[in-house]
Structure 1
């Protein structure tokens, strides 16, 4: 039976945040998915349900405070699932996209409306420098201003700046092969209807999910999307 999050007798502050973590892939599949799922499962304050079954969306998403698309790729939902996910976010649910969530549902315009940018290409996996632009967000307030990290440094078809709150960008001079220039967001958030959307382009390799700073980055994004953190 779904948890009734609107019940006034339920004190949400004393409960773990209940999230649905979705990892279905119909295109490239990241080898890091098992480590990523384990990392989210171990996060303090988060009670997660993991699935790769698109039927999980067909009956609605009541009882979940956020839905996490974790390194999904390709077309991963059926029409009923798309309808329920749209209704869920617009009515106040949280949505989190991690890494190749931006390589997902290219044929569904509504998904592009959630993220406001889609993956186009990436250079080789390599070290680079992420620059925290907004340190007041739960996903970034623990990070140094210059965050050295190793990833694929995704390029996107457009910048989400202007439609989203940019949390971090990557300095393209710190690695080889960047294609977006001086304004290259890699983490952002936004409101969509009554819901909240958080996206981070990071998280390609299994090692990321052993990195305490990255784990807190994701945890902060999830809890913010769920409305648990201001």
Structure 2
């Protein structure tokens, strides 16, 4: 949740004062702000019946409202520079996935917000793009801080489905996970492209996965895809 900015204090995207200080510090040091990359995020494993509303609010706080808070603070400076706003979302913002309801809801909210903001921001000279990675080989999953075996044991009527989901996901992870450098290259391309696209997937796997939803007018393809993960 925190990002370092040289000698500027640690950034907490859920803290308005922290965000304001980080943005002001960059502008004070460099005289302008040309680009912002929203990359802070927090994962979550669980399903609604077995979690609290505070759990869901916390996920939304970091992954959705945190993005908005940074974006709001940066927009006046991006308008002044004709800059770029890049938000790293997830394929989970396009295709909702089982036992990731809160996380996918937050990422989906970001996608909808940014999609709505694109033409408005363009009118004042700011380019908006979203980068949609799939699995990335980082500590992101480990940082969720859950014990899958304990979660399955406590899942009650959802235990078999959660066990199937975890087993399948762990087994497939290495077959399509990207390195952090590969995702960083995609972000760099958006930063430097003359006219970057609004929505950018970072791998062939991510493009194929999101295409299932984007071409699925009645929703049956997505439900069939994700439902099969619980069998």
TM-score bracket for this pair, using the shorter chain length: 0.3 to 0.5
Larger Rg: 2
TM-score, reference length from structure 1:
0.34
Higher helix residue share: 2
TM-score, reference length from structure 2:
0.34
